[in-house]
Amino acid sequence: MLRQRVITALVLMALLLPALLATSPLPFALFSLVFISAAGWEWARLNGFAANAPALASGALLAVLCGLTLRELPQMGHAGGLWWAGTVAWALGSVVVLRRGPAGWPALPPLLRWALGLALLWLAWLALAQARTIGVNFLLSTLCVVWAADISAYFCGRAFGRRKLAPTISPGKSWEGVYGGVAGVLLLGLGWLWLDAHVSFDSPSLFLLLRQRLGYGGLLLAALLLTALSVVGDLFESLVKRAAGAKDSSGLLPGHGGVLDRVDALLPVLPAALALISL
């Protein structure tokens, strides 16, 4: 399993880095479009479209929706209302969905669940592509929010976890892990602010923009919000998989599961990051 994980990660990095570091943001937008389309295929399979043809059609439809909005990316930097609408929808919708638990999710109409997932994936892709348009440093600092929260939560949960966060959805998660995730994001932010002050990057980081616009107090609150949304995204996908009786969203990434398994926490964080810097 470890060998598979390492090989898959190396192949993905070999494909990702040239697209990420290209002068134009277009290669990265197209590269990520392929991945988000695969996530659309996985989403359809988890939500009532088990046959391969409808699932493939869902992925293709998502690719078309993303492609149609690709040329609008230069204007998306001023679309604060869109990012805030997505963030509010995640915050309020997650309360309802997570309280209903895995048993409540299948009770929703399949078409509604299908459309909701494609809309969330489209919004996350649009935010991802827009983040790359701002700059590589901004994009990486935003992605690292999720990675730092996840890694810190894992180790703090293993060491100190006592109180279960959502036992019916993800029994391994604890409140202590969440607190560790917040601490990890705050430490990451302070470290990145130091780098912004001493290294010449192509763009300001997420942390620098938040500090400039909201101050250190606002940066703290933003870190809390982004960490909370990271946990929400992870729990939401776990709930959907548990309702479908699936361990992984697919086997597309050997050793890692599926695309949704790798991007679940990013889905709410990406639009929220753009919403926060629009203040």
Residue-wise pLDDT tens digits, 183-193: 999 999 999 99
- pLDDT of amino acid 37: 95
State how far the alpha carbon of 24 is from the alpha carbons of 19, 90, 204, in Å: 9, 31, 17
Under DSSP, is residue 161 helix (H, G, I), strand (E, B) or coil? Answer: coil
Domain ranges of the chain: 2-277
CA angle 276-113-153, nearest 5°?
Answer: 50
pLDDT of residue 10: 81
Q: Which residues of the chain have pLDDT under 50?
A: none
> What's 77's DSSP letter?
T
Decide if 86 contacts 267 (C-beta within 8 A). Answer: no
- 3-class SS at 254? coil
Rounded CA-CA distance 22/193 in Å is 24
Give the residues across from 174 on adjacent strands: 164
> Is 174 in a helix, a strand, or coil?
strand
pLDDT of residue 76: 61
Q: Which long-range contacts (CB under 8 A, 24 or more apart) does 70-79 make?
A: 70/26, 70/29, 70/33, 70/129, 73/25, 73/29, 73/126, 73/129, 73/130, 73/133, 74/133, 76/126, 76/129, 76/130, 76/133, 77/130, 77/133, 77/134
Give residue 240's pLDDT. 95
> Tell me, what's the pLDDT at 2?
60
CA 21 to chain centre: 20
